[in-house]
Amino acid sequence: MGKVAKGNRMMRMAGLVTGAALAMMPVALWTGPAMARAGAATGSAAGSAGRSEADKAFEALSTDEYAWRQQQAGPSEDGPRDRKIMLPDLGPQAQAARLARWEKVEQQLAAIRQDRLSPANRINFAVYKGQIDALLAAQRYRDYEKPFNADTSFWGELADWARTPFRDRDAADAYLEMLREIPRYYDQQIVNMRAGLARGFSAPHVTLTGRDKGIEMVVQAASPEASPFYEPFKNLPATIPAADQEALRAQAREAITKDVVPAHARLLAFMRGEYEKGARQTLAAYALPDGQAYYRSKINEFVTLDKSPEEIHQIGLSEMARIRGQMDAVMKQVGFKGDLKAFLHFLRTDPQFYPKTPNELLYRAAWIAKTFDGKASQFFGRMPRSRFAIKPVPDDVAPFYTGGRGGPGIYLVNTYNLPSRPFYSQIALTLHESAPGHAMQMPLAAENTDLPAFRRDSYLSAYGEGWALYCEALGEDMGMYETPYDRFGMLSYQAWRASRLVVDTGIHAMGWTREQAQQYLRDNTALSDHEIETEVDRYISWPGQALAYYMGELTFLDARHKAEKALGPKFNIRAFHDAVLEMGAVPLPLIDQRVDQLIRDGGKGPYPDEE
């Protein structure tokens, strides 16, 4: 479903990439780690004598802006704890300054001669230019006036971030300073949301039910120690003396009482009063101010391809028909007598397919992840150093959270409402969210020091979600699906993501109702009713993001088929996977370029020890 800190992480203003930069990018040969080490990595002094003035200008510009961009962002739940982190200024002057800075960067990029960049920096330029395009579009449309959706919220981000232990005393002090900043930060969010309400730029009213539960839990906590914001103080590192630990805990209790709880109380009153009363009754992005252009900007951001809603809708219908044929074959394999609707009802209601306890679900996820570990070396030549834990989704978000979510160091499994968490979907879910999906792909990018920081740190939905969905299908090659029902669960997940192309464009560009979208998923996937309801609300409140998954997967599949056909017996699945993963998150057309280079190299992967 996506990484823990993924997508449009609003507080961090994450480096999102669009395909807009590709139209201006000169044709470039792909260069691997060796070329990058020769001086293409931004900010590196290596190979400086061979760098052009264009290279130097681009590297100086991107390095300076990216360092500034990081200062603008707030904490994330997987962010570092060893530096001072302040919540960003969201006031009008700060927003105007961001707009001005990115407009200036846009002008500076236009002045750089791309044909004089090194081959590696042409790739870096395309990725970086896409990030600036996305940031500028979000700033111009004032996305900060709608700072949450049915999936992600600024208050939930802070609560998530609070669950990670401190590394040292400095991290604890920085966290306390952040707690004291929450009133200012939340008050600025309220001002911005109020401005959004005034111009009809709000979350749809129908998606608001229950989304304020996390705020309420903070307000109603029985004591400061019961607050989620106190969590990291329960087990402070032994490097902090006992007396200092008690002093830190006292400061935490004071900050939670005087700052955190009142700020959440004001936010809760605003959300349940002014915001609920004023939130728009419409669903479509097209109904927002300048809605058609806004939705198209989201397609560019999340898909990184120049596609219209109508084109994407048609691709979804075509793929759904193809997957439906594969589903029919599985039904025949298990000897089911009846149509798809009857089979889906059987899957949704038969107790054999559902866990009885949370641990049963968690233990199965762990077993699946370890089963992949035994197969990994056959399919991947380079594995990340980072490992991941498997934990349940926190109670405050579980009722409207996805079935699972993964990222660096973590695979969250939703144990809420067990009758909606079928076993037959869990292999596909685990391959997507843990390894070789998000919990593997993202650390590989972060650990690749041949990439500039703005590529190591950023997340691009079309690439990241496309890769994770490709990993679900890869489970067939790896022999992961133990029963026909497991395979049907994978096909249902494929249909779910293909149906998003139909549903997201249907809602936002074609006038579909919430009930129409829910019924389409109910008719075409094995998702439970609870999952269908939470998913549709997510699509309604987060225009375009749901398109990234299947459009990205199609790109990875097409690239693999192209390489297999061109290389024949020289095709090496390990080399292919290493080649597309070493890039980090890039716009989809660059995947095709990378595979073209793999073909020119005779199928040889990016690492010297690879056969």
The pLDDT of residue 72: 80
Query: Is there a domain that residue 354 lies in?
Result: yes
Judged against a pLDDT cut of 70, whether residue 82 lies above it is answered with no
Q: Give the end of a domain, one of 244, 278, 312.
A: 278
Q: What range defines the domain where residue 81 resides? A: 11-146
Judged against a pLDDT cut of 60, whether residue 605 lies above it is answered with yes
* DSSP secondary structure string for all residues of 459-495: --HHHHHHHHHHHHHHHHHTT---SHHHHHHHHHHHH
pLDDT band for 273, please (50, 70, 90 cuts): very high
159 plus 241 within the same structural domain: yes
CB 140 within 8 A of CB 99: yes
253 plus 374 within the same structural domain: no
Residues β-bridged to residue 148: 153
Which CA distances in Å does 270 have to 255, 265, 276, 345, 383?
A: 22, 9, 8, 41, 47
Query: Is there a domain that residue 575 lies in?
Result: no
260 plus 391 within the same structural domain: no
CB 144 within 8 A of CB 94: no
pLDDT band for 287, please (50, 70, 90 cuts): very high
190 plus 124 within the same structural domain: no
CB 575 within 8 A of CB 605: yes
Query: Is there a domain that residue 604 lies in?
Result: no
Give me Rg for the CA atoms of the chain: 24
Q: Give the end of a domain, one of 513, 530, 552.
A: 552
Query: Is there a domain that residue 58 lies in?
Result: yes
Cα–Cα distance, 203 to 281 (Å, whole number) = 9
The pLDDT of residue 527: 85
Between 75 and 310, the higher pLDDT residue: 310
Query: Is there a domain that residue 123 lies in?
Result: yes
Q: What is the arrangement of strands in the sheet containing 410-413, beginning at the earlier edge strand?
A: 389-392, 410-413, 404-407
pLDDT band for 587, please (50, 70, 90 cuts): very high
The pLDDT of residue 74: 59
The pLDDT of residue 76: 47
Instruction: Look at 289-293, 453-457, 463-467 and tell me which has the smallest mean pLDDT.
Output: 453-457
pLDDT band for 359, please (50, 70, 90 cuts): very high
pLDDT band for 458, please (50, 70, 90 cuts): confident
What is the mean pLDDT of the segment spanning 261-274? 98
The pLDDT of residue 489: 95
Query: Is there a domain that residue 173 lies in?
Result: yes
Looking at every residue in the chain, the average pLDDT score rounds to 89
Helices 53-72 + 119-140 axis angle, to 10:
40
What confidence tens digit (pLDDT) does each residue in 524-555 have? 988 888 889 999 999 999 999 999 999 999 99
Judged against a pLDDT cut of 90, whether residue 159 lies above it is answered with no
456 plus 545 within the same structural domain: yes
pLDDT band for 49, please (50, 70, 90 cuts): low
Q: Which of 213, 254, 208, 210 is nearest to 230 (CA)?
A: 254
Judged against a pLDDT cut of 70, whether residue 363 lies above it is answered with yes
375 plus 244 within the same structural domain: no
195 plus 257 within the same structural domain: yes
348 plus 219 within the same structural domain: no
Residue with tokens 């960049």: 117
CB 585 within 8 A of CB 17: yes
What confidence tens digit (pLDDT) does each residue in 406-440 have? 988 899 999 999 999 999 999 999 999 999 999 99
303 plus 427 within the same structural domain: yes
The pLDDT of residue 6: 42
Q: How many domains does the chain contain in total?
A: 3
Judged against a pLDDT cut of 90, whether residue 103 lies above it is answered with yes
306 plus 274 within the same structural domain: no
44 plus 78 within the same structural domain: yes
CB 587 within 8 A of CB 127: yes
What confidence tens digit (pLDDT) does each residue in 325-337 have? 999 999 999 999 9
CB 358 within 8 A of CB 364: no
Judged against a pLDDT cut of 80, whether residue 452 lies above it is answered with yes
Query: Is there a domain that residue 289 lies in?
Result: no
What is the mean pLDDT of the segment spanning 199-214? 94
Q: Give the end of a domain, one of 119, 146, 173.
A: 146
Query: Is there a domain that residue 44 lies in?
Result: yes
What is the mean pLDDT of the segment spanning 25-51? 42
The pLDDT of residue 35: 37
The pLDDT of residue 32: 43
Structure tokens at 365: 């996820």
What is the mean pLDDT of the segment spanning 194-219? 95
pLDDT band for 85, please (50, 70, 90 cuts): low
pLDDT band for 79, please (50, 70, 90 cuts): very low
125 plus 273 within the same structural domain: no
